[in-house]
Amino acid sequence: MKPLVIIHGWSDSSDSFLPLAKAIESHSGRVVNEIWLGNYISLDDDVQMNDLVRGLDLAWHERGLPIAPKSVDVVIHSTGGLIIRDWMYTNFVSKAKKTPVNNLVMLAPANFGSPLAHKGRAFYGRVIKGFNSRKRFETGTQILKSLEMASPYSWKLALNDCFLENVFSLNDIRATVIVGNTGYGGISSLANENGSDGTVYVSTANLNCSYLKINFPSLPKIPEIEEMKPSKGKTAFLVVDNCNHSSIALKEENDKQTEILNHIVTALEISDETSFEDWMNTCRNLTSVVMDDNVDDGYKHGYQNTVFRVKDDQGFYVTDYVVEFYQDANKGVFDRVAELFNNKVVSNVHVYKDNPAYRSFMIDCTALKSIINEEDENLRISISAMPDINDKNTVVGYRTFEDEDMGSLNLGPNELDKFFKPNRTVFIDITLMREQKENLFTIDRVQGVN
């Protein structure tokens, strides 16, 4: 039987995964000495993600774990998902090598961010977590920056491994994502966000994602969709009802423990392409039942993590912009769809602190579907950015504010179903045209000079 490596998340330790290790052992017959618990320091502010990736590689070789293709199974929790993905890409995929990972079970992974990350960097995060850290009041600032919603790190990592052939697939890394849909109770409920398990969003856990590249030229006005592609490969994705970020990893009592353990062991024991295909279908069907059962519960709606990155055609980040969702082409009139979308559909917006060009919009796809069906309307998406080239005192900027300056993507009901899908992340890469006025640089002839 293959060795099994278990890797914990931020602010945690391997000790809390002993119950999971013992449960897997008793349920599957794996012996204890074949289960390895990874342990790493996550609360030091100086530690970067690439430090953890290099640390994992050193520890892997020091313990003599095999590196032959498909020789090890791995279970991760939370931040462990980013570490193992980065490790596999850095040390194997980028070098055209097969990874040693066979079956990968990701329990509530923070694949595309966590709403708790920026809170962990705030004062109360330093008090709650930092009080017990090795360095008083440190919370792992650099790691939390990578975990923050819409982080450039998660964007880059997605492009590295989610859109390459045969990384997560039937015959390479067979990955299963298992996540809960219920927040914490008690004082910990302060961390809860709609669509989350208290720490990660259901949508940001799912590895199945999409990438969309849009050019917004000044002329012609109509935006150009240059590229639209789903992630490569296949990942099993399962939502378990009434579980939070801790109970999904058997770290606290829950009446779903036996069910969760059965799912974990099933995912670990997959041995061929056909059984993985069947397992993906099982997960899809079980998740559909959970989503249908909770259609009236706003907290458990199907949300999409919609991540925008805006740059101009000169390669500069555009950090001051507004993404606009509306129905009527004349933005000045009363627009009921815009009002409903902004008040009912956009659940949360997070601007990445270190680079505002990156932003996450949490879209309630369940509410959106009901609004569009009721109104039988289309939805337009456009953008306004500063500096505004129409301003008389501006010499460089963007032509986006006037109706004749900038067009919009016009999505009808059928296109909306493709553009907004529950329980996933979509990366939207927007390019604006940067313009310069004639008076920015002039060449004048001086009279009287031979």
Q: DSSP of 349-374, one letter per residue?
A: EEE-TT-TTEEEEEEEHHHHHHHHHH
pLDDT surpasses 60 at 185 = yes
- For residue range 151-184, list pLDDT tens digits in order: 999 999 999 999 877 688 877 899 999 999 999 9
What's the average model confidence in pLDDT over 399-422?
85
> Tell me, what's the pLDDT at 334?
61
Strands 321-326, 358-364: pairing is unpaired
Single-letter code of the amino acid located at 264: I
> Tell me, what's the pLDDT at 128?
43
Residue pair 354/288 in contact by the 8 Å Cβ criterion: no
- In the chain, the domains with their CATH numbers are 4-208+232-297 (3.40.50.1820), 300-435 (2.60.40)
- Kindly state the DSSP code that residue 22 receives in the 8-state scheme: H
* Structure confidence at residue 136 as a pLDDT band (50, 70, 90): very low
Closest alpha carbon to 25 in 347, 344, 268: 268
pLDDT surpasses 60 at 41 = yes
- For residue range 326-375, list pLDDT tens digits in order: 887 665 556 778 888 989 999 999 999 999 999 999 999 999 988 876 65
What's the average model confidence in pLDDT over 256-267?
96
Can you list the positions of beta strands (E) in 27-173? Answer: 35-38, 72-77, 101-107
Tell me phi and psi for residue 392, to 5 degrees: -65, -25
Does a cis peptide bond (omega within 30 degrees of 0) precede residue 387?
yes
The SS3 of residue 77 is strand
Question: What number of residues does the chain have?
Answer: 450
* Structure confidence at residue 113 as a pLDDT band (50, 70, 90): very high
* Structure confidence at residue 133 as a pLDDT band (50, 70, 90): very low
